[in-house]
Chain A
Amino acid sequence: MDDQKQLNVSPTPHVSAKLTTSRMMADVLIALIPVSVTATILFGWRTLQLPLICVATCVVTEIIFNFCRKKPNSLGDCSAVVTGLILAFSVPPTLPWFACVIGSVVAIGIAKMLFGGLGSNIFNPAMVGRAFLMICFGQLMTTWTAPGVEDTAKIYATTRATPLAVAKFTESDRSKALEEVSLEEYEISLKVRAGNPAVLGDLLRGAVGGCLGETSALAILIGGAYLLWRKTISYQITLGMIGAILIFAGVGYYLAPQQVMHPLGHLFAGGAMFGAFFVATDPVSSPLSTPGRWLFGIGTGVLVMVIRIFSGYPEGIMFAVLIMNAIAPLLDRWTEPAPLGTKVKTAAGS
């Protein structure tokens, strides 16, 4: 049972490169710096405690589980730190400390270590932790505060609902919407729906309510570009997901502008960007083969839009990623590349 010595076989070509787990994770940490900086600027210094608590709990949980299972220490690969950070950046800035601790213990303990540690987990640990928190403390997880930035965000200062939540209202039910949200919120939602450039700019800068790390699309783009340049994440998943969201929302916006908001609004408001660069690209719980990765990205994007438009939830990144995680092994099997000169066995036969 020495899985430390297990061979990992990935489809060819086997390029020899210094791509180790710890280097990948270090890259992710570097890429998260812009997000951390903007989150701190937007929501204030006190929000720094969220990432700190999550990371500390994740690390301690990993040590305890390794000790109980008499395994060597696996902290060196930094994956616990990354999980903690991603979890912290995908929760509302107002989340109390005990919820952070519980979410981190579930993420590392149940979603990762009980499955056998890094490499054996089926689901993205951070998203499992978030899903647990979402179901457990629904009220805490859907209480948003507006970022504390003056002037540019003045109109958002009173906003409690995120752009996505408000966007469920359309122009036709103006009177109905105004009974539920303020005039400012309603007008912003209309502007987002219509793709107003000024409001989209605000979304890019992050002057809106939302999860800690997902509000500023620009910061995510900077970090994501670094990851793509370092080839730490596979561009297939990111592009597939963003493309699917844009196409789905674009077609929907063209056909039914009353139900679907502007594609760029869908991309920049909410967690789509953060999900596409940092969450869905988790190398463990996503497929290995190139076509599999395309399918994975496209599937996630389509599911996000389906959940956003047709379900009771305003946001769908977390559930979309978890659902696609579950079928990632199938995607790998369906898209298994044939060794040169042989025929692939029919899927039913394997």
Chain B
Amino acid sequence: MINFIKQSALVLVLAVVFGSGLALMYAGTNPLYLANQEKATLDSIAKTIPGADTAQNLQTSEVESIEEYRVYRVFDSPEDGKETLLGWAYVAKGKGFGGDIKLLVGLNAQADALVGIDVLEDVETPGFGNYINDEERWKSKFRPRDGKALSLDRNLVVIKTTPKKPYQIQAITGATISSKAVVAIINDTAGKVAAQIKQED
């Protein structure tokens, strides 16, 4: 036993010293990491909900009662105290072409229409599927067109040609599967989440 401890003394000492060092480092950096994550989500929300980028004091609060999805209430509460509800954002996950896609989906204040999406995580093929991160090529298609947001009454449909109806979304060339995956995630979740939000209010 003594021999065993003698032999492994170096390992033990190193483990204790480095372990405590790492613990200190973790205590120092983890708050920053969490803040980064929070900021990334906030940035994403600001990009997704119209009016959020110009808000004087953008605030979000997580709707605790909806457990299935992380749903954020997005509102502007400027100094003068008059609070305006800008919309709702929730995190949805689903299967893409290369793996899971994590989306942030933005709904309007009435929770009856889609106002924008942002891709939080994806492993789609570069040059094809990962254009779902591209504002021009893809994300802009979910923004309100001619001032009218995409209604949730009808499921969205991916098409390959120029859309004629409001519920049609043009696929990214060469990445139909990724395009369809994103739309499927939205179709699967938006209605459910909207219903729950309405129940809350």
By the criterion CB–CB under 8 Å, are A180 and B159 in contact?
yes
Q: Does A94 contact B (CB under 8 A)?
A: no
**Segment 9-39 of B: residues with Cβ below 8 Å from A:** none
Q: Which residue of B lies closest to A141 (CB)?
A: B174
Report whether A139 and B160 are in contact in the complex, using a CB–CB cutoff of 8 Å.
no
Judging by beta carbons under 8 Å apart, are B127 and A138 in contact? yes
B46 within 8 A of A: no
Q: Cβ of B168 < 8 Å from any Cβ of A?
A: yes
Residues of B contacting A142 with CB < 8 Å?
173-174
B168 lies within 8 A of A179 (CB): yes
Q: Does B161 contact A (CB under 8 A)?
A: yes
User: Measured between alpha carbons, how far is A181 from B158 in the docked complex, in Å?
Assistant: 12
The size of the chain A interface, using a CB distance under 8 A, is 9
Contact B160 A180 (CB under 8 A): yes
Which residues in B have their C-beta under 8 angstroms from that of A181?
160-161
Residues B174 and A138 in contact, CB atoms below 8 Å apart: yes
Q: Which of B160-177 contact A (CB under 8 A)?
A: 160-161, 168, 173-174, 176-177
A339 contacts across to B, CB distance below 8 A: none
In the assembled complex, the Cα of A312 lies from the Cα of B173 at a distance in Å of 13
B69 at interface, CB cutoff 8 A: no
Contact with B along A154-184 (1 / 0, CB 8 A): 0000000100000000000000100111000
The answer to whether B109 has its CB under 8 Å from any CB of chain A is no
Segment 129-147 of B: residues with Cβ below 8 Å from A: none
B158 shortest CB reach to chain A, Å: 8
* Cα A181 to Cα B171 with chains together (Å): 13
CB-contacts of A180-198 with B (<8 A): 180-181
Q: Roughly how many angstroms separate A142 CA and B174 CA in the complex, as a whole number? A: 8
Q: Are A312 and B177 in contact (CB under 8 A)?
A: yes
Which residues in B have their C-beta under 8 angstroms from that of A139? Answer: 173-174
Interface size on B, residues (CB 8 A): 13
- B173 pairs with A180, CB closer than 8 A: no
**List of A residues within 8 angstroms of B176 by Cβ:** 312
Consensus secondary structure, chain A interface: helix
Within 8 A of B (CB), among A61-83: none
Report Cα–Cα, A150/B168, bound state, in Å: 33
User: Is B128 within 8 A of A180, CB to CB?
Assistant: no
A332 to B75, CA, bound (A): 70
- Which parts of A204-235 form the interface with B (CB within 8 Å)? none
CB distance from B126 to the nearest CB of A (A): 11
Chain B: CB-nearest residue to A135:
B127
| Chain B proximity mask over A135-152: 1 for CB below 8 Å, otherwise 0 | 000110010000000000
Closest to A175 in B: B157
Question: Could you say which residues of chain A place their CB within 8 Å of the CB of B128?
Answer: 138
B 56-89 contacts with A by CB, 8 A: none
Question: Please, how many angstroms separate the alpha-carbon atoms of A179 and B169 in the complex?
Answer: 11
What separation, in Å, do the CA atoms of A180 and B128 have in the docked complex? Answer: 19
Residues of A within 8 A of B168 (CB): 179
- For the complex, give the distance between the alpha carbons of A231 and B127 in Å: 44
**Chain B residues near A179 (CB-CB < 8 A):** 157, 159, 168
Alpha-carbon distance A181/B177, docked complex (angstroms): 16
A161 to B161, CA, bound (A): 11
Distance between Cα atoms of A139 and B158 in the complex (Å): 18
B159 — which chain A residues lie within 8 A by C-beta? 179-180
Nearest residue in A to B172 (C-beta to C-beta)?
A139
Q: How distant is A181 from chain B, measured CB to nearest CB, in Å? A: 7
Cα of A191 to Cα of B137 in the assembled complex, Å: 34
Q: How far is the CA of A181 from the CA of B161 in the complex (A)?
A: 7
In the assembly, what is the distance between CA of A142 and CA of B159, in Å? 17
CA distance A161 to B128 in the complex (A): 18
Q: Are B161 and A180 in contact (CB under 8 A)?
A: yes
Question: Contacts of A176 on B, CB cut-off 8 Å?
Answer: 157
Residues of A within 8 A of B173 (CB): 139, 142
A195: min CB distance to chain B, Å: 26
Alpha-carbon separation in the docked complex, A139 to B127 (Å): 10
Offer 19 A-B interface pairs, CB within 8 angstroms, sorted by A: A138-B127, A138-B128, A138-B174, A139-B173, A139-B174, A142-B173, A142-B174, A161-B160, A176-B157, A179-B159, A179-B168, A180-B158, A180-B159, A180-B160, A181-B160, A181-B161, A312-B97, A312-B176, A312-B177
9 A-B pairs besides A161-B160, A180-B161 with CB distance below 8 A are: A139-B173, A139-B174, A142-B173, A179-B157, A179-B159, A180-B159, A181-B160, A312-B176, A312-B177
